[in-house]
Amino acid sequence: MGTLGVLGLELVQMDTPPTTAYLQIYTDKRCKANCQFCAQASGSSADLAHIARGMYIPHDLEAVVMRLKMAYDRGYLARACIQTALYDTWWEDTVHLIKRIREESGIPVSLSVFPLSNEHLEILMSLGVNEIVIPLDACTSELFDKIKGKSTGGPYSWENHMDGIKRASRIFQKWELIS
């Protein structure tokens, strides 16, 4: 809601507007993961306009992209963070959104995502993604398993997430040294 308020797409009263635009690609499909805190989870019956505790109200892509450019150019926003979910066309939809943002704006883009292959990480960098976030959502492997791991019926494991964080860190650090 804060992002929509800054973009002027919803009337939102805020004491302190966010400087990061949080974007979630809307799909009518549930995420294949089953993170226990997420409204998008495969086992959730919550409204799909929610994710965790936040509301993600669907809006027209072109309006969001144009308003994002204006808000960044005017100094209202410092970056955009795209939140992903695991569904059949997540990759194509994410790449499309990144490309549309990049066609219009130089706003720094981060992507909050599950562990990806090195090839996917390289593609994201070439598209202009500045940062990758791979959320653990837990501080131990045991808690991770209870919250979003195998015991929830989801596809994630602590080991894969830790490996994904290490690989993404190496790849994005290398990219920063080159560019």
For position 10, which CATH number holds? 3.20.20.70
Q: Which two tokens stand for residue 152?
A: 């929830």
Domain encompassing residue 64: 2-178
At residue 12, does pLDDT exceed 60?
A: yes
Specify the pLDDT at position 176: 53
Contact 132, 121 (CB under 8 A): yes
**For tokens 């805190």, what's the residue?**
37
Mean of all residue pLDDT scores within the chain: 91
Residue 30 reports pLDDT greater than 60: yes
Tell me the percentage of the chain whose pLDDT exceeds 90: 70
pLDDT of residue 20: 96
Write the pLDDT tens digit of every residue in 119-136.
999 999 999 999 999 999
Whether residue 167 is predicted with pLDDT greater than 60 in this model: the reply is: yes
Residue 8 above 80 pLDDT? yes
Q: Say what the pLDDT of residue 175 is.
A: 55
> In total, how many domains does the chain have?
1
Q: Which helix (H) or strand (E) holds 109?
A: strand 109-112
- Residue identified by tokens 């959730």 is 44
CA 163/CA 115 separation, integer angstroms: 8
Assess whether pLDDT exceeds 80 at residue 52: no
* Cα–Cα distance measured from residue 105 to residue 3, given in angstroms and rounded to the nearest whole number: 16
Distance CA 26, CA 10 (A): 17
Is residue 31 within 8 Å of residue 90, measured between CB atoms?
no
With a cut of 50, say whether residue 179 has pLDDT above it: no
Point out which residues pair with 23 in neighbouring strands: 82
